[in-house]
Chains A and B, each alone.
Chain A
Amino acid sequence: MSQPDWGKSAVAAVIDSLKDEPGALLPILHGIQDALGYIPSGSVPVIAEALNLSRAEVHGVITFYHYFRETPPGKHTVHLCRAESCQSMNSEALHAHAKSKLGIDFHQTTQDGDFSLEPVYCLGLCSCSPAIAIDGEVYGRVSSERFDEILNEVRSPA
């Protein structure tokens, strides 16, 4: 997509297909994030117009939900579970390792744009703690060594 296009046509297509659904805003935001990886600021007035909402309302919804992001993610997004079950299996050591390995904190993206790091409050894998997810793939009982292996697999898939 050429600059300075922020995905206007993709956004329009998503809005067009969903705007008549009851409670359409969340499905539209999911659709946009699925297509573009984030919700560009330019899409806010377009969504507001289509749903007869104020821009403030749309902005309020985007920022209320942890999952929606307003900046492009890295090539891969690493979600580390911060919840109690994972804590009981020493997830905090794993998180410290992950942060130092990637050289970033939560909500940041590596300089090379390869990885974004996000916390998540429970992946429902509490019987396999500590758990992480990368691009929707799940990994359980992750040690620091295993984390490094997984990163390598993700970087250069077999």
Chain B
Amino acid sequence: MSTRIYVPCDSGALSLGAEKVAHAIALEAAKRGIAIDLVRNGSRGLFWLEPMVEVSTANGRIAYGPVSPSEVAGLFNADFLNGGKHALNLGLTEEIPYLKNQERLTNARVGITDPVSLEDYIAHDGYRGLKNALKLAPAEIVKQVTDSGLRGRGGAAFPTGIKWNTVLNTQDEQKYIVCNADEGDSGTFSDRMIMEGDPFVLIEGMTIAGLAVGANRGYIYLRVEYPHAYRNLNAAIAAAKQAGYLGQDICGSGKAFELEVRLGAGAYVCGEETALLESLEGKRGLVRFKPPLPAIKGLFGKPTVINNVISLASVPIILDRGGEYYRDFGMGRSRGTLPIQLAGNIKRPGLIEKAFGVTLREVLYDYGGGSATGRPIRAVQVGGPLGAFMPESQFDTPLDYEAFAALWAVLGHGGIVVFDDSVDMAHMARYAMEFCAEESCGKCTPCRIGSTRGVEVMDKIINNQERAENIKLLRDLSDTLLNASLCALGGMTPYPVLSALNHFPGDFGAEK
């Protein structure tokens, strides 16, 4: 029997040379006349070890990493096909503490299976949620999701079950399920990892959503910056359709669900749900006024469930194991797990799916191992470019929506970007305004004009022109953005700006 070897096809691993490693392994095996079964899995999310190669042995999968093409011959010499000793041998993958101490529900299969193999998906408990859902009435499916306590993982944390219930109870012949896969926040990559590493779980989640609310058509709005996810999603959709898991008659139930991937075109604001719907309709991504809610009048004016990738990808396990199973993880009103994405200046960056409640400090030091540069961590930005900067004094905050909100911070999509003590926070505040100016859709004045004025004010502060007056002006301007913007882009840009100013006044020229 040929040995099974796993080399990730996740774009993070590819960016570190996984393709060349896979090629070198295939070549070396052929040279030595050894039959191998090379599987391109998703990433386990241990990015400091990528490209991480795994070998299937009688005792379980053994990991080697980070592997470079030049080390491949040495690995063969060390009999890595049988888990042989080598400097890069990391032992059993599942025993690596970073991975072992996680609670992987949504990402249960990512890094384990061949992402585009339906057979592999089903062999690893895939489509069990859908099978259960097919036996339930729509309202019962919605109840499971409501009971799970799942809240929108895109950042807004709105209860998913309530959203679904609104769509279920809005009568219309045509309803839609839209997946927001416009993961534009810096520091976030869990949507990407799901779509590249386990696309079927998203497809299954959307199919269940369709059954729950009576929608027979779904769209995945995917950012154009994710070409690898595009390929894997389309391959998985084709396979699911071929096997009757998508199409006009799902698993012989007589119910229909068609699914299509649509590409965005590099506009951050299209991650805002109403701008996304406009874009799907073929227009500029201008934010809509609410109400009407998309649940009542969404895509093409029809009732629409619009959810983030992780929200939808968490549905299959909820329908498989029950809402209560999922709800038993977490703390307070933050139920279930959060795929935390640890990024930036950090020694061990990666994907950490944990029940809510773990503290920032545990994530940064126990998992992350401190900064990549070895210098002290000065600040972290959680929740993307619209999230607050948090100083060391707030590192004991548990990852929980309410605990973050109480500190005027944002948990958002769970991305954490780490900065060491070389960071200039005034510079970061200026960048936040610049980003808002670059990406503003232009519909509302506070965001369109305010962001540009914000860059100018920040330049004056940085250049020490009437600093005290300009800091006052910056606070005034932020107040306008916060209270008068149409959506979160303008409305939350003050989070990074003011948190930087409040926690790091010295960088803005204040007496220390």
Q: Which residues in A have some Cβ–Cβ distance to B below 8 Å?
A: 22-27, 29-30, 51, 57, 60-61, 64-68, 83-89, 120-129, 131, 133, 136-141
Contact = CB atoms under 8 A, between A and B. Distances in A.
Nearest to B343: A126
Given A30-B265, A127-B189, A88 B349 contact: no
Contacts of B441: 64
Contact of B266 (A23, A25, A120, A126): A120
A47 to B, nearest CB: 10
Nearest to B267: A65
Contacts of A133: 225
B390 to A, nearest CB: 13
Given A24-B282, A65-B267, A126-B341, A84 B16 contact: no
A122 B184 contact: yes
A29 B186 contact: no
Contacts of A87: 428, 431
Contacts of A30: 224, 263, 265
Given A67-B266, A84-B186, A138-B11, 12 more contacts: A27-B262, A65-B285, A66-B267, A68-B265, A84-B417, A121-B186, A123-B11, A123-B225, A126-B344, A127-B45, A127-B343, A127-B350
B345 A141 contact: no
Interface stretch (B102-110, B135-143, B418-426): B418-426
Contact of B15 (A22, A60, A67, A128): A128
A121 B265 contact: no
8 nearest A-B pairs in the assembled complex, by CB-CB distance? A83-B186, A25-B282, A140-B15, A126-B343, A67-B266, A65-B265, A127-B349, A88-B344
B428 A84 contact: yes
Interface residues of B, number: 60
B14 interface: yes
B150 to A, nearest CB: 23
Contacts of B420: 88
Contacts of B189: 124-127
Nearest to B283: A61
Q: Is the interface of A mostly helix, strand, loop or mixed?
A: mixed
Interface in B303-333: none
A141 B66 CA distance: 13
Nearest to B268: A121
Nearest to A63: B284
A128 B428 contact: no
A61 B284 contact: yes
B54 interface: no
Given A84-B417, A128-B349, A89 B225 contact: no
A64 B345 contact: no
29 contacts: A22-B300, A23-B262, A27-B263, A29-B265, A57-B283, A61-B284, A65-B266, A65-B285, A66-B266, A67-B265, A68-B265, A68-B266, A84-B186, A84-B381, A84-B431, A88-B344, A88-B418, A89-B372, A121-B186, A121-B435, A122-B183, A122-B186, A125-B15, A126-B343, A127-B351, A129-B343, A129-B345, A137-B14, A138-B228
A51 to B, nearest CB: 8
A84 B188 CA distance: 11
B148 interface: no
A64 B282 contact: no
A17 to B, nearest CB: 15
With most chain B CB atoms within 10 A of its CB, the pick from A87, A128, A129, A136 is A128
B446 to A, nearest CB: 19
Contacts of A86: 186
Contacts of A139: 15
A35 B12 CA distance: 27
